[in-house]
Chains A and B, each alone.
Chain A
Amino acid sequence: MPTLPNTQEPVTLDTFLRGLWEENPVFVMLLGMCPVLAVSNSAINALAMGLASTFVLVASNSLVSLLRHFIPKQVRIATYIIIIATFVTMVDYAIQAISLDLYNALGAFIQLIVVNCMILGRAEAYASKQPLGATIINGLGIGAGFTLALLSLGAVREILGAGSLFGIALFGDNFQPWVVMILPPGGFFVLGAWLLIFAWVRQHRQQRLDQEGVPQHDS
């Protein structure tokens, strides 16, 4: 289980980096799997979804952090949901303004950021207890980790399933796309493969640290 700080902590580079590796929302905490599996069928969709979620995460958690002394704990979930829904609506309009094609490709999953447990979880576990600066940096880290994870899935799925990356064809006309990779089962296959790689790297690193006699690092 990742660390859930209850006391204020100094803002360090680790505040940001934790979201990328130790507390990666997708590969470690397995949060927000619905958009991860659903819209990682192409790199551009994955990137757009990652950036949209990051914006909502940082903006809503900043507001939660600013208001943390004013929100009675009895109404905190309702308050967080209103704040998150506000920023999701803003992102929804922004994406429609940027590109209708992208908006249609992402479908209902933009609106569904409201119920992404990664964002509500961060508000509850981090932003409601930490000052604004730490919240923004931690939120950017978690958002970057989420975007990176989505992009890892999206890139692999698009390359295998459509033979392209960011819409640019990589192989010749003779390439036979592995269509299942851009279908829902492909999301599970690629996610499983990435989790396997992540687990293997972590285990490998732990073994090396154990051999060197370094005390176990809590992660």
Chain B
Amino acid sequence: MNQEGINQAAVDPGLTYRMLRTLGLVATLSGLLVVLSYRVTLPIIEENKRLAIERALFKVIPGAVMRRDFVITDEGIQRAQQDLEGTTLYAGYNQEGRLKGVALEAAAAGYQDVIRILYGYDPYCQCIRGIEVLKMTETPGIGDKIARDADFQQNFIALEARPHVSGQGLEHAIVPVKHGTKSEPWQIDAISGATISSKAIARMLNDSSQWVVPIIQQHLAVVEAGALNIDDDQRDGPEASLLRVEESRYAHTP
């Protein structure tokens, strides 16, 4: 505050009140507008998020047309419900309700910032069936090839992620190799010129699947049975049941 302002405050007893009144009024108005726009847009934003997840999900689980959410906790794998903390596991089923695969999010530091992906795991071929980049800030034309380079995507048609016989980790770690030197099904053929981004994908897939693949194989029955409940819920409309699961996941406590 400048000198003039201080002097004025000393001589003008109403100024304090006017300043408080103005800031109070503006803050109240601000609160009303922000809460109103939040309430109006919330259902649309959640629907957008659901569609975005399903679009990515059905891409990384070939053949899936229905989804059911599960949560991985210390006790194993459970159906997603409100207040259940843990890592979300999306399961994809075909029209007949047969499990086609599961999908999880994975993340690791890329060239500029964290890369987040959704990857699909097929517990029957014990391999990774596809990846979809959810968020990245890799260099356009170089690192961002991880999302759309056709050769790189070939790595994820059947990338081996077989659990170790001991039930701990993978039999073979997922590793990146120099472009053109892939010889084993658990290797990822890196993009030449985008080694850091390629390595980030390999690292996040390895870190995530080392931990999660043994759990999935152990609790596979729970996930396979998930489709039965879809049928139960579908009595009052398939959309309703899916939305209910979604609501429980994203519900914000008022």
Task: Show the binding face of A for B, using Cβ within 8 Å.
Answer: 41, 63, 67, 70-75, 78-79, 82-83, 85-87, 89-90, 93-94, 96-97, 99-100, 104, 107, 161-162, 177, 179, 182-183
Contact = CB atoms under 8 A, between A and B. Distances in A.
A82 B141 contact: no
Interface in B33-89: 33-34, 37-38, 40-41, 44-45, 48-49, 52
B18 A82 contact: no
B114 interface: no
A79 B23 contact: yes
Interface residues of B, number: 32
A85 B31 CA distance: 11
Contacts of B142: 179
Contact of A90 (B1, B22, B34, B141): B34
Residues of B contacting A: mostly:
helix
Nearest to B9: A74
A67 B26 contact: yes
A78 B23 contact: yes
Contacts of B140: 41, 161-162, 179, 182-183
Nearest to B140: A182
B5 interface: yes
Contact of B22 (A70, A100, A183): A70
Contacts of A67: 22, 26
Nearest to A107: B137
B43 to A, nearest CB: 9
15 contacts: A70-B22, A74-B8, A74-B15, A75-B22, A79-B26, A82-B27, A93-B40, A93-B41, A94-B41, A96-B48, A100-B45, A104-B135, A161-B141, A162-B140, A179-B142
Given A74-B8, A183-B140, 7 more contacts: A70-B18, A70-B21, A79-B26, A86-B30, A96-B48, A177-B141, A182-B141
Given A96-B48, A100-B52, A79 B22 contact: yes
A100 B19 CA distance: 39
B252 to A, nearest CB: 13
Contacts of B137: 107
A179 B193 CA distance: 14
Interface in B1-31: 1, 5, 8-9, 15, 18-19, 21-23, 25-27, 29-30
